[in-house]
Amino acid sequence: MKLSNPFNAELKQRLDNAIDESKRILLCTDFDGTLVTFTGLPSETQLPIEMRELLTRLAGLEALHLAIISGRRFQELSELVPVEGVTLAGNHGLKIQFKDGTAYEPEIGEDLKKTIALFNKDIQERFGDKEGIIIENKNFGLALHYRRYDGDEGKIEDEFHEIWKDHNFSALEVIEGAKLLEVRPANWNKGDAIKLLQEKWGGRPTIYLGDDTTDEDAFRVLQGQNLGFPILVSRDENKDTNAQYRLKDPAAVGDFLDDLYRYLTN
């Protein structure tokens, strides 16, 4: 399916119809690969100054709620996004700090934590000394990044799944992202986070921007909604997705957000 550029006439018309005079809107976005180019090294990423200024402007709009929903740990995300008035959701929304100061953080069971710790130990033993492989401990999960790995990627994937078989625990699931394998809680995803944000702020138009597998859960929630605007960030015009619109990269996301800001302030 070919997706159109979000700020085309059709989307503007839909936004015009969806937004009332108060211009209330919920703007949700992923972080890595969406607002910033992902290099494969989570520790290397920074929010460019222009993007930070743009987010600050958007967050300053009275009628707009800005939420950033990332797979990163909450603490990491909050350090990467030093912007006032933004709702931040880390660990795919398993910890949310709302802009009004309240928070959402479900109880995580001890057996889940224990499984993750044991799995982490085995993964460290197998991959810890392999050059180009990064193991990220996420408190409620674990991610293995292999974008920088020069060897046989298929073998890494097979070994990861094999080790997981020894620990397999129904409250956890494996997801596959861009050069990334991750084990995370199975009963909560970015789609659930979107629903929670919508409940909190009531039936306003919702935009969601994202580039990866985990964002499809959020797209799926918005896809069926009259006031939903799911936007995929990808260079691949034919990517299988639940999104309705497409932007090619974080630079295009910047242009889109700038257009949106102008639209909302006109």
Interface ranges with Mg ion (CB under 5 A): 30, 32-33, 211-212
> Letter for the amino acid at 44?
E
Yes or no: say if 19 and 205 are a contact pair by the CB < 8 Å rule: yes
Q: Which is nearer to Mg ion, 133 or 215 (CB)?
A: 215
Q: Which is nearer to Mg ion, 30 or 76 (CB)?
A: 30
Smallest distance from the beta carbon of 57 to Mg ion, in angstroms? 22
Q: Which is nearer to Mg ion, 71 or 228 (CB)?
A: 71
Cα Rg of the chain (Å, integer): 19
> Letter for the amino acid at 76?
E
Smallest distance from the beta carbon of 178 to Mg ion, in angstroms? 8
Checking 166-173 for CB contacts under 8 A at 24+ apart, the result is 166/122, 167/115, 167/118, 167/119, 167/122, 169/111, 169/112, 169/115, 171/109, 171/111, 171/112, 172/112, 172/115, 172/116, 172/141
Smallest distance from the beta carbon of 33 to Mg ion, in angstroms? 4
Cβ-proximal residue to Mg ion, closest one: 33
Smallest distance from the beta carbon of 219 to Mg ion, in angstroms? 13
Q: Which is nearer to Mg ion, 15 or 211 (CB)?
A: 211
